[in-house]
């Protein structure tokens, strides 16, 4: 599969993502050079993935003049470039459902607004439950989703066969189908946000690792990079699974942790699978790209600790077993490519977002498990509105770091991988 093809799923995507020539030329022309790092900024966003770039874009849209993004490597080098591009509103909490309804609208409009093709394809998500416990969870989630305006429906084995004839329904308790869920090609979202940031005066500095921070008591005063220091009173930490390492430079301990997740792509088949199919029990997910490849991943608890993005033979064994159980016709397919990236796991399956009690001027934007990509458009907008206007206070209190000290943990059950 080539570097420019769209793939679907919720796991990491391919490495070395290079934009089309016209977009690449624009990014090269507008991406700032490390030697041009400004001495001061109103806000420094650490992390040049989709979450950080979306935040910077919306800050500029709201009139913040001096915004800088610093990224330690190239655009699409982290989770945003290793993501499968699933965009779904099927969740088990009202907060996630409402946010993703808005994010879906932003994703659907992205190509028109940013003038870049993202291959938005509304094929739906089909969740499978094969045990009474999972069926009960799915039923409760669908009830909540419908109460929040989604067209999700519970379907039996007969209906599943109509939606996706190749899916094995033996032992199926129930399934849910959300026809408005979609998949996109992730890389153009990063390129589109980066180009739009540059056009609005945001300095996007790639290959500019952060080496430390300067503080004055409980307040941030500067971000220190290999290219120099940027004086600032406000820092947004949007570095995903790398956030604990950056936060540790400030003496702050975060409960999120990296977890390697792998994904692979097969040779092409004639298109037969419209929705993304997912099994909540095993974490299997699989979809078919526009050229016919089957792309997917599966849960794998036995992975090395820490920031590890290598591939493993164990993953192929787990994935093959669960894929053949769910889509038997995949048995003779050859795997063309396999890759890995890092999920950003939290103890309760929900993000860590907002200001901290420990340090003034620091805003956290991490812990999005495996769905940070799909939620970035709406979260970038909400964070910017919160910083500029004080909006969405309830959301940032709900997902704040303090919940781990007060014991007010949340729970999200519809996590894949």
For residue 363, give the nearest of 204, 239, 226 by alpha carbon: 239
Q: What is the pTM for the complete model shown?
A: 0.91
Pairing between β-strand 293-297 and β-strand 285-288 as defined by DSSP bridges: antiparallel
Hey, CA dihedral for 143, 51, 61, 359, is it positive or negative? positive
- Alpha-carbon distance of 79 to 342, in angstroms, equals 6
pLDDT tier at 16 (50, 70, 90 boundaries)?
very low
**Distance between start and end Cα atoms, the chain:** 22
Mean pLDDT over residues 208-229, rounded?
96
State the average pLDDT over residues 361-386: 96
pLDDT band with cut points at 50, 70 and 90 for residue 401: very high
CA dihedral over 296, 272, 122, 415, signed as positive or negative: negative
CA distances, 27 to each of 44, 64, 140, 192 (Å): 19, 21, 45, 9
Of 14 and 190, the one with more pLDDT: 190
Cβ 94 vs Cβ 148: under 8 Å: yes
Does the pLDDT value for residue 13 go beyond 50?
A: no
Q: What is the mean pLDDT of residues 206-235?
A: 96
CA pair distance 292, 359, nearest whole angstrom: 50
Task: Please tell me the predicted confidence (pLDDT) of residue 18.
Answer: 55
Query: pLDDT tier at 408 (50, 70, 90 boundaries)?
Result: confident
The partner residues of 365 in beta bridges, in order of sequence, read 353
Q: How far is CA 125 from the centre of its chain?
A: 17
CATH 3.50.50.60 fits 1-122+182-417, yes or no: yes
Is the pLDDT higher at 302 or at 2?
Answer: 302
Torsion of CA 296, 302, 308, 314, to 10 degrees: -50
């Amino acid at each position: 599969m080539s570097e420019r093809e769209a793939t679907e799923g919720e796991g990491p995507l391919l490495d070395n993502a290079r934009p089309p020539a016209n977009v690449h030329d624009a990014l090269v022309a507008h991406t700032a050079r490390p030697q041009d790092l400004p001495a001061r900024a109103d806000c420094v966003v650490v992390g040049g993935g989709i979450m950080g770039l979306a935040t910077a874009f919306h800050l500029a849209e709201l009139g913040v003049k001096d915004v800088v993004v610093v990224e330690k490597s190239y655009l699409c080098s982290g989770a945003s470039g290793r993501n499968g591009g699933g965009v779904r509103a099927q969740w088990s909490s009202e907060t996630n459902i409402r946010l993703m309804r808005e994010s879906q609208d932003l994703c659907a409009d992205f190509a028109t607004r940013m003038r870049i093709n993202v291959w938005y394809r509304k094929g739906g998500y089909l969740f499978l439950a094969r045990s009474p416990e999972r069926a009960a969870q799915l039923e409760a989630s669908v009830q909540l989703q419908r109460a929040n305006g989604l067209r999700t429906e519970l379907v039996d084995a007969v209906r599943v066969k109509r939606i996706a004839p190749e899916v094995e329904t033996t032992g199926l308790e129930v399934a849910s189908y959300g026809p408005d869920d979609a998949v996109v090609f992730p890389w153009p979202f990063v390129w589109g946000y980066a180009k739009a940031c540059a056009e609005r005066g945001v300095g996007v500095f790639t290959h500019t690792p952060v080496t430390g921070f300067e503080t004055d008591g409980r307040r941030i005063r500067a971000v220190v990079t290999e290219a120099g220091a940027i004086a600032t009173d406000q820092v947004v930490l949007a570095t995903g699974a790398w956030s604990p390492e950056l936060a540790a430079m400030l003496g702050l301990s975060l409960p999120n942790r990296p977890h390697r997740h792998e994904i692979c792509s097969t040779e092409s088949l004639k298109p037969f699978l419209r929705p993304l199919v997912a099994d909540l029990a095993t974490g299997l997910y699989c979809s078919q790209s526009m050229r016919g490849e089957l792309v997917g991943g599966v849960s794998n608890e036995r992975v090395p600790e820490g920031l590890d993005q290598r591939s493993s033979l164990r993953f192929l064994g787990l994935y093959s077993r669960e894929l053949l159980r769910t889509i038997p016709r995949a048995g003779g397919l050859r795997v063309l490519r396999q890759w890995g990236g890092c999920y950003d796991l939290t103890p309760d399956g929900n993000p860590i977002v907002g200001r901290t009690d420990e340090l003034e001027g620091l805003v956290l934007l991490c812990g999005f498990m495996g769905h940070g990509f799909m939620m970035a458009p709406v979260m970038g907008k909400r964070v910017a509105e919160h910083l500029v206007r004080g909006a969405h206070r309830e959301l940032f209190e709900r997902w704040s770091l303090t919940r781990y000290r007060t014991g007010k943990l949340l729970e999200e059950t519809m996590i894949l991988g």
